[in-house]
Structure formats: C-alpha cells, structure tokens
Structure 1
Amino acid sequence: PEVTLRLRMDVPYGQVVARLCDVAPDGSSTLVTRGALNLSARRGRDRNAPWTPGATETVTFRLNGIGHAFPAGHRIRLAVSSAYWPWIWPQAGSDDGFVLEPAGSALVLPVRDGGEHPEDAGIRFEPPEQSEPLRVTAPPAAREERPERRVVRDVAKGEWRLEVDPRYGGTRVYPDGLEFTEDALETYTIREDDPLSARAGSDWTVRLRRPERAWDVRIETRSEITCDAEDFVASNEVVCHDGEEVVFRRTWEKRIPRVAR
C-alpha cells in the first residue's frame, strides 16, 4: 500500500504515521498495516531536508507489505498522525504537528485480481514436515502472571507508562534436567507535554539451573534509552550470579548525537 499526503507544517522537523485499518460493522477496528516517514528525510534517507515553516508539500511513502482481504460490509480506514509513541521516538519541536489537506491526499491499495488458483495449474503443496518435538515441560508459574500489556496514567504528572510483558517468561525443563527460566519486562514512559521525557527500558533475567548438581547461575540486565535535544543516551547494566555470589558486573553509557533528526 502507498499513501500520498498533502501537508502543511509550521516547524522544520516532524514525522507522519499512516495506519491502514479494517473497520467492522460493529465499529471494531483491526490494524492491517502501517508506515511512517521522517519528514526531514522525505527527499531520501541520505540527506537532511528541513521543512520550510508554513510551507505545503506533497509526500508519498509506502506502508509495510501485507496480504489482507476486506470482507463485504467492512470499511477501510486510513488513520494519519504526527506521532506514534512508542513505535516511533518523538521529535522535539514538532509538538504542533501538521495540517492535512484531504483533497490532495490519496491511498493506493494493490489489488489481487484472483486469477488462476495454484491447484488449477497443477501445483500441489505437500503437508509440511517437522521433527519430533523435544519433551520439554513447563512447571506451574510460581508468581501471578502479568498482563501482556498494561497502560498506567499518572494524572498529577501528566505521564503515561506502557508496560509490556513479551511472554518470554516462565520455566522450561529439558529432557536432560536443565531448568531454563526467563523473565522480561519492557516499559515506555512519556509526559504529555514533553517529547524529551520519552524513556524506554528493558529488564531481563535468565536463569540456568541443575538441581541435582547444585548448579545455579543467573544473568540480569537492565537497558534504558532517554534523550535530550542533542543526544540519545543509552545506559546498560549486566550482573552475573553464581548462586548468590555476584561474579561479574558492568555498567556503561553511550551518547548518540541526534544530528540527522
């Protein structure tokens, strides 16, 4: 799919996000695909072209490739926004967004004409083959399972936090007795009035254990990305345990200039 959008923007930098949705008669919406464009890279990713404040331009970009059939009676919705946190990092100074001119904008959808079915052409696909699965067991969870996604709003601070459990958690016991436990939590926070407050964090724990040999090791990592007007700041920590003993610890930080916006 491809979108052409006629935009007016009053700031030199910004971004545009387009989401293609399938809206059912009951109003429920299914995301089909999406795409984004950094407006300072609208003339190519190899150059930085700030927008002339107050100017109106036409931009065109593709959405991610997808195969989808819209059922009869459903509507096609194109949702356009100037931000899409936390899928895209917000830009400072782009708070005012843009003005979209519908008359100069369009959505182009690729259409499959049906044509000949593969089986009509003598093409046959045999059932897929797969090996016998490992006899891995999963003991009952020792803690209450977190929701896969949770949104928390702090009204006093004007802050939103998204907590994501990627569902890598839990313990798996392999045929040779090895216990493998993995737990992860991703958090994304931002204040409503400050794009520079964006913060993304990831906490990860991996544990390997063999009860019959009294062998128990654990690795814990914490990673976080924040920003200011000039740089992204990436900070990391890794801690390795042998039983209860800490055998290795390292922290480091890296600043990445936001030179290309």
Structure 2
Amino acid sequence: VINLTHRDGNADPKPLTPGETVPIRLVLDACGYRFRKGHRVRLSLSTAYWPMILPPPDDDGIDIDIAALGLGLPMLGEHRRIEIKEPANPDPLPKYIEHAGAVTKRQVARDLSAARTDYHIHEDTGLTEHPETGLSTRQLREEVWSISPDNPQSMTGTSTWTCDMRRPGWFVRTVATARIACTGTDWVISAVVTAFEDDVQIFEKVFAEKWIARDLM
C-alpha cells in the first residue's frame, strides 16, 4: 500500500497536482514462487481497500500510464532443501476445555435508500478453560464500518472488545469501545473502557472526542 501524497516519504508529505504525472515506486510483499512453463503474472492495482485502508477525503481517482508501467521480479537463484527434525513433543500445548464454541461472522449490509454500506465483523473466541489453572477466558470482537460510496468523509468505524475471565465463584469483564470518524482535515476519535466484577460495574474511563489533523492521510 502506498499513500501517493507520501510518495517521497512520511516526513514530508506533498499533495498531488491534478493532471501532473509523477513516478511512483511501490515495493510489493516478497514471496517465493517457482514459475513453470506457461505460467503468467497478473498485476492488480486499486485505489480502495475498504475498510482495511481508510479513504482519502476526496475521491478524484487516478490515471496510470500503462506504457511506463513496469514490474520487476527479482530472481532468488538456486535453492537447497533443508531437513528439519520433528520435535520430541510435536504437540506441547495444553488441551483446553471448551465450554462454548467459537463463532466468526462477516456481513455486508447495503441501505440503498440511504446510499450507505455497513460492514459487520463478529469474532467470538468461545469460552475455554485452561486445564491446569482452571481459568476460563473469552474474547468477543464486534465491529461496524460504514461508508457512503459517493462520500469518503462519511466514513465511521466502531470497534468493541469484550474480555471475560472466570473461575468458580469469580468473574471479571472489561469492555472497550473505540470510535473513529473524519472530516476533510481531521480524524475524530473517542473511546470508553468499562470494567465489571461479578456483573457489577467497578470502573469506567471515557476518552473524550479528540481531533487529529489528517496531514494528507
């Protein structure tokens, strides 16, 4: 991923000038692959990767000079096979006791009348008990990322993490919720952390809304 306004480094970002052609060098993740006869390489470029990458404040698109486009593939050279012995105990981890199974869900909801897309994430590790300590733990992550396709500044994200720990006669829980939104010039961030013991709230801290300059991000 490259932020084109940071094309010369993060220390001195520079905005792009519409219509101006600038050279870009993008280093891809390295991987080893042996090409056989007839195999081909496909290069895919995109200006969006929502919600992994948050959008710029304006979506003007880009033009690519196909004639000047080049893809360099370094040759790794000869290789040799390395034999690794099996460990004395190939399965050293404890066998956790499962009290509730893990659940993973992904859902995309599109409100056509409001021209808005919501991406829902639900990750539940389930409730498992350590066989030696008797401590049971559970982590639940719920996120909602929303955006209107024609308005990058409508972006919002809410992430809630719930962490439980319990033993017979003892239970604690923490709930942390963070929120992010944006304007054309700032990120708007807030959060709240709450703690419970035996279902009784014993602590809460609110991180007030904070405005952070985007600085061409």
Q: Under a length normalisation based on structure 1, what TM-score does the superposition of the two structures give?
A: 0.74
TM-fit CA distance, 1:69: 4.2
Corresponding residue for 1:169? 125
Whole-angstrom CA distance in 2 between matches of 1:209 and 1:240: 14
Match for residue 127 of structure 1 among 78, 81, 86:
86
Corresponding residue for 1:186? 143
TM-fit CA distance, 1:112: 2.8
In the alignment, is residue 136 of structure 1 matched against residue 96 of structure 2? yes
Query: Which amino acid letter does the alignment assign opposite residue 40 of structure 1?
Result: T
Match for residue 157 of structure 2 among 200, 220, 241:
200
- Deviations along 1:240-261, whole A, 9 cap, x unmatched? 1111211011111322111244
User: SS of 1:232's equivalent?
Assistant: strand
Whole-angstrom CA distance in 1 between matches of 2:36 and 2:145: 35
Corresponding residue for 1:21? none
The runs of 5 or more residues in structure 1 that have no matched partner are 1-35
Q: How does 1:24-63 map to 2 (within 5 A)?
A: 36-63=1-28
Match for residue 65 of structure 1 among 12, 17, 30:
30
- Deviations along 1:162-208, whole A, 9 cap, x unmatched? 2223x452101112322212111222211111111112221111111
Whole-angstrom CA distance in 2 between matches of 1:230 and 1:116: 50
**Where is the strand percentage greater, Structure 1 or Structure 2?**
1
Whole-angstrom CA distance in 2 between matches of 1:223 and 1:129: 44
User: SS of 2:5's equivalent?
Assistant: helix
Distance 1:139 1:225, change over 3 A: same
Whole-angstrom CA distance in 1 between matches of 2:162 and 2:37: 47
Whole-angstrom CA distance in 2 between matches of 1:50 and 1:116: 44
TM-fit CA distance, 1:140: 3.8
Distance 1:66 1:49, change over 3 A: same
The count of residues paired between Structure 1 and Structure 2 equals 214
Whole-angstrom CA distance in 2 between matches of 1:182 and 1:50: 41
TM-fit CA distance, 1:74: 4.8
Q: How does 1:151-166 map to 2 (within 5 A)?
A: 151-165=108-122
Corresponding residue for 1:100? 64
Whole-angstrom CA distance in 1 between matches of 2:36 and 2:137: 44
The runs of 5 or more residues in structure 2 that have no matched partner are none
Whole-angstrom CA distance in 2 between matches of 1:169 and 1:240: 19
User: SS of 1:77's equivalent?
Assistant: coil
Distance 1:140 1:46, change over 3 A: closer
Distance 1:52 1:72, change over 3 A: same
Corresponding residue for 1:216? 171
TM-fit CA distance, 1:110: 2.1
Distance 1:50 1:248, change over 3 A: same
Query: Which amino acid letter does the alignment assign opposite residue 136 of structure 1?
Result: Y
* Contact 2:100 2:128 survives alignment (8 Å): no
